[in-house]
Structure formats: structure tokens, C-alpha cells
Amino acid sequence: MGEAKKTDVLILGSGIAGLTCAIKIAEARPDLKITVLTKAVADESNTRYAQGGVAAVWNEKIDTEEKHIADTLDAGDGLCNEEVVKMVVEEGPIRVRELIEWGTRFDKEKGGEYDLGREGGHSENRILHYKDITGWEIQRTITEKAKQLPNIVIRENCFSIDLLTQHHLGYNITRVHPDIECYGVYALDKNNLDVETHLARITVVATGGAGQIYRATTNPIIATGDGMAMMYRAKGRISNMEFVQFHPTSLYNPAVESQAFLISEAVRGFGGVLRTRDGQEFMHKYDERKSLAPRDIVARAIDNEMKIRGDEYVYLDCRHLEMEGFKKHFPNIYDKCKEEGIDVATQMIPVVPACHYFCGGILVDKIGKTSINRLYAAGECTASGLHGANRLASNSLLEGLVYGHNIAMDVVECIDQYDYKEGIPDWDAMGTTDPKEMVLITQSWKELKDIMSSYVGIVRSNVRLQRALDRLWLLYSETENLYNTTTLSPQLCELRNLITIAYLVTRSASMRHESRGLHYTTDYPGLLDHREETLM
């Protein structure tokens, strides 16, 4: 509690989109104070766990922007915004060069040229990477860069609870409205559990994805959809939440509950082959590109093979590959497999699909503006139009760079017309009591994961979706009661957000009466003639 904290620009999230935006604003306008709130430590984000790399047209002798655009549109299955795709692909190399200038290291060949990888859905080698921990290297760079700028303040362990809008001034906002404005956030200091009021002239949401709604996910434990959920509660536009990308190959380990280990798509680009448990190849039955088909096709193929055979996993075979090259390109994967008792040179790697990336989220335009005034958003929490119905591998880091830059350039031009909003009340904590049983929260989280994994996974149906909605309503009612009667905790806030995200995914899926991209339903296996976004 206490006096409201004021900052010119408030950025929620410290991944590639959030910190790129912060750095750009800080360098362009040294007179502005930029505050970055992150609910964990500064370098813990979805960005950190991106293995494969960042896609950009680099070798113009073999690659072109037209090819990258065509690959992105093909993966997006008719729902990409072509103007956005063109913008991101064309601006991408410029932003990547800036990242290199800031100190990011990408692998090079002996001759000094960048070692460009290739992943599923790409027609050429265009993936810049740092071994198999590219995200870690980028996160290291942007965190160090941000900490060098005196007008950037990074608040760690500060959990954003809700966006501040006219609703907190007593207005009854019941639906999406063009005049809604954002004035900052209420945030929970995880160190002392005090709720702070953060006021800002401009707010940017860059809070990442929501993979924790599923049992198996490659996302870190922090990926709980906080920004998307806050936007929905504030009556902002949300789009295309049914399109959840499952990475085809996470390391099978039934003992792991929170974060599955990712076996990068680049391993298949390097020559890895998918096989059933009896050693038979199967991808040729589903797509002529075999193991290099786009992720949605590969994930559904694996899911189908597992179901018809009753298997819990399939294999990724790397035994035929040149092993010294494999160790050089994928040292982290090689060591992890060895740690789990798998010798990649002589044994196949057991893999299963796992929730990996959200292609829907907060609806934004080409400069990151949302439907709420004074509020921008960037990165995985958004539906920018780049990914459409399915993300092309390694386009996500590129999107974060481009949108972080575009938002920054617009903010530095327009921020001077805004001032802080007065009259925002302190957080109302009256009537709350200490929670008696944490088990109510942890068990509800487990139930949520079970519901979504069983009924709203890779393959869906009307019956499954309705069953999920029925059970989600009960979880929502119980959790809202808990939220309104007990002292806030980060776990309770995350559970509340996850239930909101689960509802949005399930409701959006039930509204799309076709199978497109990442959304596949047995009741509507074909494509509709028209192509449109789902808005909520």
C-alpha cells in the first residue's frame, strides 16, 4: 500500500519483446523513466528457453524475403495478416543486426560466415543460433544491455495483478469499448505480499505465453498467461486463442510435471528421423516433407500414431548422424539425454508433443497498439497476425524484436500528450483472511491441467470441449470465491489467470467450426470457405 509509484513507461515482462522495447525507449529518450516489472528474476522468461534460434533472411545468395514470407503464410494456414508478415520479415534482419551489435553471439562456420540452421516449414537455411541455447544467449545480452541504461529500472519479484482502467474509477464497463484507457497496474510485491499501485503514462504488456494450462509443456513455470488474462478482465480485445502450438518433440519423462525438456526442431533439420516404438518411419504417411513438415502436422501425426498403437511416446532417431557435429550443434540436448541414460549415438530419443507456443492473444496492430488506449502489447501474449493459425519455427524471437522496436518508436513520439491519472484508489484488501489450505490452489491447478490435456489438446471434438467448459465453470467459481475471501498469493493469482486462459482457449475452439492450422476437431475436419479471426 502507500503512495502510488509513478513511471513514464511501465513494461510488464523482461523477455525479448519487453526489454527490446525498454532499451529502445531508454536510448531514444534519456529523459523518460522506464520501469520493467517481472514476477520472477530479470533473466527468467520464455525467451530464455528458446532453443532453435531466430529466423531471418541472411544469405541473400540462396534466400529471399519472398521465400520467408511464403513459408510464414503457408504455415499460418490462411489466417496470417500479409502486411504484418511482410513487415516483420523485411525489418527482421535489421533488428537482428542490432542484437548482434549489443553483444549477442551466433554460431559461425570456420570461414567466419554464420552457421544457418533449417527447421520444419522453412524452405531455406535461415536460422541464426547459438548452439542449442539461443534464447539463453539473447536473454543474457538484453538483460546486460538494459542494466547499463540508467533510466531503466527493473523490479524483480513484482507480480502484475490487474490493469488499471476507468473500472477502478467507478465506471461500469461491461464490454469492449473504444474509450477504455490504461493508467498502469496493481502489482503484488512477492517479497512482502503488499499490493502496490503503479501509475504510468504508457503501459506495455509483454508477459509471454500460458503453457502451464497443460500437463506437458516446454514453457517455464512462470508461463501462466497473466497479460492475456488481465486484458480480458479489462474488456480488451482477445483473438484466436484456439491456436495453441504443441511442439512435436519434448523429451518423454512421465515424472516431470511443470516443464518438459525441449528437443529442438533443429534436430530434425539436422537429419533426425521420427519413428514408432517398433522402429518404423511414419511421417511419409502424413506429409511429403516427412519429419520436416510444419509443427501442427508433425504433432498431429505423432498424436495419431500414439493413439492407434496405444503408445506413450515415439522415437526421434539420431543414430545415423555424424555425432561430433551433433554434439557441437546440440550440446545441451546431448548432455540432457546422457543425464537421462540415453546415448544418442546408439539409442533413439523418446519424445512426445508438449504445449509450446500461443498463436493467439491480445489483438494488436502493426505498431503494437491494443484496443485499450495508452496500452501496447508485444510478443507471445499477442495476436499480431504474424503467426495466423500456426507459427513458423523461430519466427517468435523475430516478432519480439520487431514489435519491441515498433512500440518504442511510437511511444517516444506520442507519450508527451499523456499525463498520470489521478484518483486511482489503493488496492482494497478489506475482508480478506489468510488461506487455510494451500492444497485448494495446488489441486485446482492439477485439475485444470488434466481438463485441458484430456479435452482441449491436439485433437478436439464438440463433446470434449463442452465437457471442458462445464468443468472449468466449477473451477472458476471455486477460485473466484477463494480470491475474494483470502489474502492474495502469487499462486492464487496465477491459478485465476490460468483458468481464464483455459476458458478462452476452450470457448474459442468451440466457436471455430472447421479444422485450420493448430485447431483440429473431429466434428469439423474440413476448412470453411471464409477465413476469419475469432474475437473475444
Amino acid type, 172: N
Which of 295, 460, 471, 516 is the catalytic position? Answer: 295
Cell triple for 216:
506437458
Look at the block and give the residue holding cell 546422457. Answer: 338
Question: DSSP code of 49?
Answer: G
Residue 513 in contact with residue 524, Cβ under 8 Å? yes
Task: Tell me how far apart the alpha carbons of residues 36 and 14 are, in angstroms, rounded to a whole number.
Answer: 7
Enumerate helices (H) and strands (E) in the chain, giving the number of each.
13, 18
Whether 233 sits among the annotated catalytic residues: the reply is: no
Q: What's at 372, amino acid-wise?
A: I
Q: In this structure, what C-alpha cell is assigned to residue 224? A: 501462466
**DSSP classification of residue 212:** G
Q: Cβ distance 358 to 224 under 8 Å? A: no
Beta strands in 95-243 (DSSP E): 127-128, 152-155, 158-164, 184-189, 194-205, 238-239
For residue 204, the SS3 value is strand
Confirm if 248 and 299 have CB atoms less than 8 A apart: yes
Residue 523 to residue 514: CA distance in whole angstroms: 8
Q: Are 424 and 183 in contact (CB under 8 A)?
A: yes
CA distance 204 to 213: 24
- Nearest C-alpha neighbor of 301 from the set 453, 454, 72, 459: 459
Q: Is 89 helix (H, G, I), strand (E, B) or coil?
A: helix
Question: Are 173 and 181 contacting, i.e. CB atoms less than 8 angstroms apart?
Answer: no
Rg value, the chain, Cα: 22
Residues 24/405, Cβ–Cβ less than 8 Å: yes
Residues 6+ apart with CB under 8 A from 237: 176, 231, 362, 363, 370, 371, 535, 536
Do strands 184-189 and 194-205 pair parallel, antiparallel, or not at all (unpaired)?
A: antiparallel
Yes or no: say if 460 and 519 are a contact pair by the CB < 8 Å rule: yes
Phi-psi region of 62 (alpha: psi -120 to 50; beta: other; left: phi over 0): alpha
CB 492 within 8 A of CB 441: yes
Q: Vertex 25, ends 58 and 388: CA angle to 5°?
A: 50
**Which are the catalytic amino acids?**
295
